[in-house]
Amino acid sequence: MFEFIYTLKTRNETLFYYGLLCLVSSIAFLLLTKLSSTQVYNESAWYKPFKFAFSTFLFAWAMAWYCHYLPEFNIRLFNWTVIILLGFEIAYIALQAGRGQLSHYNMSTPMYATLYSLMALAATVVTLYTAYVGFLFFTTTFPTLPSYYVWAIRMGILLFVVFSFEGFVMGSKLTHTIGGPDGGPGIPLLHWSTKFGDPRVAHFIGMHALQVLPLLAFYVFKNSKVTLAVALLYGLLALFTLVRALNGKPFIRSKTTPNELNK
């Protein structure tokens, strides 16, 4: 682990420290879920900035590692695009959490609607830039890297991009719950709905292919055909959870209480 951290810092010191800042921030936000009584949708307001900061930490470190392999890539421009745009997103989510206000889907005032649109724009630009990185991986040969590892990076980026844009499903509906109101019962920590459809499940699974597939390919599969087969199954899993969500069905259903049966 220490060797990985040292190598990552050497490869991309800027994104290394940004990712580290996001990790520390996510821990602070998680602590605030226990220390603060501020709630949004019947849960601690600090869960959302925790999840976004931790996800950004994983994204920053993964892309810092992968972009090192690309010849003549303008890594400085990529770094600062990620830092500025995703930094703005986390900062606004945290600000709204502290105020007990929604950050996403908040159209209650022109200012909130504008800031929400700017968050969507920031996420879109970073996703498109990541798609460009994926294009470079598909069009570049890497003779010094195992082919199964290269294919895992390619498929990880592809699934990340597809299911990042799946976020527009929620944005178009101004809700992350299908078939019921936001704020109902959910699984611990992630708070995915256990009563209704929740597109965040597919969003999460698909985006984290960016980390999961390369790690499995490099340390477990060590085979290109197996890697591609698993990537296909992984993508189908994310698609399956999305279809269930759009049909109002939860990823994990909670037990129905007698009171609920009588409603």
Examine residue 218 and state whether it is found in any structural domain, yes or no. yes
End position of a domain, from candidates 105, 132, 161: 105
Examine residue 55 and state whether it is found in any structural domain, yes or no. yes
Indicate the average pLDDT of the chain. Answer: 94
16 and 84 share a domain? Answer: yes
Examine residue 179 and state whether it is found in any structural domain, yes or no. yes
Q: Say what the pLDDT of residue 23 is.
A: 98
Calculated CA dihedral for residues 238, 187, 178, 254, nearest 10 degrees: 110
160 and 236 share a domain? Answer: yes
95 and 155 share a domain? Answer: no
Q: Which domain holds residue 20?
A: 1-105
pLDDT tier at 261, thresholds 50, 70, 90: very low
As to burial, measured by CB atoms within 10 angstroms (0-12 exposed, 13-18 middle, 19+ buried), residue 239 is middle
Query: How many CA atoms lie less than 13 Å away from 99 in the CB half-sphere?
Result: 10
Examine residue 196 and state whether it is found in any structural domain, yes or no. yes
Q: What is the mean pLDDT of residues 180-193?
A: 91
Which residues, 6 or more positions from 194, have their beta carbon under 8 angstroms from its beta carbon?
A: 184, 185, 186, 187, 250, 252, 253, 254
Examine residue 78 and state whether it is found in any structural domain, yes or no. yes
The amino acid that residue 7 corresponds to is: T
Examine residue 96 and state whether it is found in any structural domain, yes or no. yes
Q: Say what the pLDDT of residue 256 is.
A: 53
pLDDT in tens, 105-147: 999 999 999 999 999 999 999 999 999 999 999 999 999 999 9
pLDDT in tens, 6-51: 999 999 999 999 999 999 999 999 999 999 999 998 899 999 999 9
147 and 92 share a domain? Answer: no
